[in-house]
Amino acid sequence: MIYFDNSATTQAAPSVLETYTKVSQQVWGNPSSLHNFGETAFHLLEQSRHQIATLLGVKSREIFFTSGGTEGDNWVVKGTAIEKRSFGKHLITTAVEHPAIHNSMEQLRDLGFDITYLPVDKEGRISVDDLKAAIRPDTILVSVMAVNNEIGTIQPLTEVAEVLKQYPKIHFHIDAVQGIGKGIQSMIMNDRVDFVTFSGHKFHAPRGIGFIYSRTGRKLAPLMSGGGQESNLRSGTENVPAIAGMAKALRLLLTDEDEKVARERAIKQRVYDHIKTFNKVTIFSQPTDGFAPHILCFTINGVRGETIVHAFEDQGIYISTTSACSSKKHAASSTLTAMHTPEAIATSAIRISLDENNTLAEADEFNRVFDKLYQKFSKINADV
């Protein structure tokens, strides 16, 4: 089996599962309990928080645990709207965000907030000039993803941060779910960013666990009310085994990061150089610094994306249409639609997404299978 669908989810690392199992079996106390067993769980929780904060170069009190990227995005968007509604009801995001951001914004629109979606160019990237023009006196949040989950575009985060330095009261949020461990941490964790969302299952941690970075001094209304965990900002008994596993997974991810990024980029380049030679292939992800090293999106024109996905699956290679969240809906890529890609091409889009465990040998096998499938599709479809 060749697994090229790591942007959808990653396999939990064996050592991470060992940590998860060990904590589940030996430290199952509630970290809010007063007895020694609860204290042991609490200390492990705080140790994990400290480890994550140290890896990101921030303070422990700026890390808050969630159930994953979707909750984190919802929390920042809606929590900002609730907290700052007396100062304004205008929020800015991009036309290519993950549904967790887009749908949260639309929910706020229904509640009377005003949303601006920044357009993107032919590579799926926003213009800083458009951002400048969109900012209003009542703007309370700018939310921009680090890496597009469908085609891998890296947004101009540093330039956005420079613009927002002139507007210190506006919250600046980055969805870094696809960006962690991809060589752009300095862009993500710059000193103007207020909130960052992370999801554990994207970097070999268990599913159902994540965290946000919340800069000291920024206020965010809680969405989860209850027992007052996470400094009264995210109630609910903390999932200590998964949190400990996630802390370990993040440490492993960021160890030798440059080497891992170079490996992913080389694999992406190997596939890119091969498929670009075919006439009926349209490629949306480039092997340049403006794109993440692990995502390659392309089409075989005239063949629907789900057809291509299942054809590769029959050969033991697992890829996806452009987003796992929309793949079963048979919908055109929202990113490609925002890029004004014709629907006939957008519905043919597929995505391969890599991690540090993939190899060049797997890329060569992918290319071999691609040749066979391309020839097959050419025989049955005159458009190929």
Give the bridge partners for 296, in sequence order.
Answer: 352
Radius of gyration of the chain (CA): 21
Largest Cα–Cα separation, the chain: 72
Of the candidates 247, 143, 246, the residue with the CA atom closest to the CA atom of residue 196: 143
**What is the Cβ-side half-sphere exposure of residue 339, based on CA atoms within 13 angstroms?**
21
How far, in Å, CA of 96 to CA of 120, rounded? 8
Cβ pair 309, 350 in contact under 8 A? yes
53's CB contacts (< 8 A; 6+ apart) are 59, 60, 62, 63
Give Cβ neighbours of residue 377 (< 8 Å, ≥ 6 apart): 300, 302, 303, 311, 384
Q: Which of 281, 289, 239 is nearest to 262 (CA)?
A: 289
Q: Could you give the CA distance from residue 335 to residue 150 in angstroms, rounded to a whole number?
A: 7
Would residue 297 show up in a list of annotated catalytic residues for this protein?
A: no
Helix axis angle for 360-380 and 257-275, nearest 10°, is: 30
- CA dist 39 and 27 (Å) reads 10
Name the 3-class secondary structure at 302: coil
- In the DSSP assignment, the letter for residue 11 is P
> CA-CA distance, 14 to 30, in Å (whole number)?
25
Which residue type occupies 362? E
Distance between start and end Cα atoms, the chain: 27
Check 115, 325, 331, 345 and give the catalytic one: 325
Q: Name the residues annotated as catalytic.
A: 325
